[in-house]
């Protein structure tokens, strides 16, 4: 079967209206809304005719049948490209896509400002013990103010795990407070880290020397379970732990134990093993935990940027061009052949 337009399906509500607005200006694109209120066979029938899939990146917001797995790719053999809603891609098996000749892109960088500001906000709130003060005031149990003695961010050592878009922006904001920033990122050399405002180091030193450890890496086979009891114990006593990255990178039970013991002074968590966490989650009741429901990047500005970026990436694919932020370049050769077969013309950049 030949096609003239590149059909893109998305599940439920779009990230932002800028996705549809941008796509509408691209004559080579056709957008198909796959409403979750529809029956599963009806959604599958519609998706079967799509070349692109614009997929939610938060794993608990998307029903499992619509995660991009080997089984999913087998059910929808016409798919050529998958794009995540944001920087994360928990719902996409990238290796399976590569094997199937399906390219994968994310929208890395689009929400960096929003997430970095959220991270710094958590640092400041925890150091100044604002969540604890708020709870005591509401309960009417405030004693003397000195019981809420806080600390300042200026001059502290901040450890950044992952020095990509968000990590780099967080580093620059921390630099503005006069912070010394240590960074762990196996994909960057010392000179690149220095150019981004951080000193490259190893994981053990980062844990031992940082007053605040903040996580900004994707959830992968390498990072799953990166922070557990041993890592919290290796952190400086009284340090803060913050994650605006992905749940499952840190062990929640072990973190709670480190807070209860008093070894860690506080935690700022925007991401969870299951989202949203149950109201009875132990971390939510700890007075030194500042929690948010994966909203660090949920700003008007970030959402507009990432949605526009996704539409533009699909438009490039429709034209036979390689979109930016490609996560699996190894898929390109097979993808190009499949693109040419689908549209019965040579892949322009092939």
CATH of the domain at 279: 3.40.50.720
Any domain includes 103: yes
Spatial neighbors of 350 by CB under 8 A, at least 6 apart, are 320, 336, 337, 339, 340
Same domain flag for 189 and 309: no
Same domain flag for 276 and 184: yes
Same domain flag for 262 and 327: no
DSSP 236: P
- Asked whether 56 and 82 are in contact (CB, 8 A), the reply is no
Any domain includes 249: yes
**pLDDT for residue 349:** 64
Residue 275 bears catalytic tag: yes
| Digit-coded pLDDT (tens) for 187-208 | 999 999 999 999 999 999 999 9
d(Cα 61, Cα 36) in Å, to the nearest integer?
11
Number of domains forming the structure of the chain: 2
Same domain flag for 191 and 319: no
279, with CB counted inside 10 A (0-12, 13-18, 19+), is: exposed
Any domain includes 350: no
Any domain includes 348: no
Which of 38, 275, 319, 325 is catalytic? The answer is: 275
Residue 138 bears catalytic tag: no
d(Cα 252, Cα 282) in Å, to the nearest integer?
9
Same domain flag for 221 and 136: yes
d(Cα 187, Cα 77) in Å, to the nearest integer?
33
Same domain flag for 92 and 221: no
124 lies in which domain range?
112-291
**pLDDT for residue 3:** 65
**pLDDT for residue 15:** 78
Any domain includes 280: yes
- Asked whether 100 and 69 are in contact (CB, 8 A), the reply is no
Q: Which residues of the chain have pLDDT under 70?
A: 1-3, 349-350
d(Cα 330, Cα 327) in Å, to the nearest integer?
9
Same domain flag for 223 and 314: no
Which of 294, 303, 305, 338 is catalytic? The answer is: 294
Same domain flag for 36 and 49: yes
Same domain flag for 201 and 212: yes
Same domain flag for 33 and 68: yes
Residue 246 bears catalytic tag: yes
**pLDDT for residue 2:** 52
Same domain flag for 202 and 183: yes
**pLDDT for residue 12:** 72
**pLDDT for residue 346:** 84
Which of 7, 118, 236, 246 is catalytic? The answer is: 246
Same domain flag for 87 and 27: yes
């Amino acid at each position: 079967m030949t096609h003239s337009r590149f059909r893109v399906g998305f599940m439920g509500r779009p990230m932002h209206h800028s996705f549809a607005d941008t796509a509408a200006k691209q004559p080579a694109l056709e957008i198909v809304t796959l409403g979750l209120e529809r029956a599963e066979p009806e959604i599958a029938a519609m998706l079967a005719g799509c070349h692109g899939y614009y997929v939610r990146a938060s794993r608990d917001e998307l029903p499992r049948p619509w995660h991009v797995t080997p089984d999913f790719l087998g059910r929808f053999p016409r798919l050529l490209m998958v794009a995540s809603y944001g920087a994360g891609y928990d719902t996409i098996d990238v290796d399976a896509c590569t094997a199937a000749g399906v390219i994968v892109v994310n929208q890395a960088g689009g929400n960096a400002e929003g997430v970095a500001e959220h991270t710094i906000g958590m640092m400041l709130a925890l150091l100044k013990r604002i969540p604890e003060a708020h709870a005591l005031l509401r309960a009417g149990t405030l004693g003397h103010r000195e019981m809420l003695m806080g600390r300042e961010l200026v001059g502290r050592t901040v450890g950044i795990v992952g020095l990509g878009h968000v990590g780099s922006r967080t580093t620059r904001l921390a630099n503005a407070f006069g912070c010394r920033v240590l960074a762990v990122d196996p994909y960057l050399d010392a000179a690149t880290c220095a150019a981004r405002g951080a000193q490259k180091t190893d994981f053990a030193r980062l844990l031992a020397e940082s007053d605040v450890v903040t996580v900004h890496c994707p959830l992968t086979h390498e990072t799953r379970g990166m922070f557990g009891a041993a890592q919290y114990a290796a952190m400086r006593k009284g340090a803060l732990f913050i994650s605006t990255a992905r749940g499952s990178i840190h062990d929640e039970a072990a973190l709670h134990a480190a807070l209860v013991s008093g070894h860690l002074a506080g935690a700022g968590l925007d991401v969870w093993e299951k989202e949203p966490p149950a109201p009875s989650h132990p971390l939510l009741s700890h007075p030194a935990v500042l929690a948010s429901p994966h909203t660090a990047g949920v700003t008007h500005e970030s959402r507009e940027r990432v949605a526009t970026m996704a539409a533009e990436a699909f438009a490039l694919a429709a034209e036979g061009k390689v979109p930016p932020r490609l996560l699996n370049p190894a898929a390109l050769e097979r993808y190009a052949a499949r693109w040419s077969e689908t549209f019965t013309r040579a892949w322009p950049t092939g």
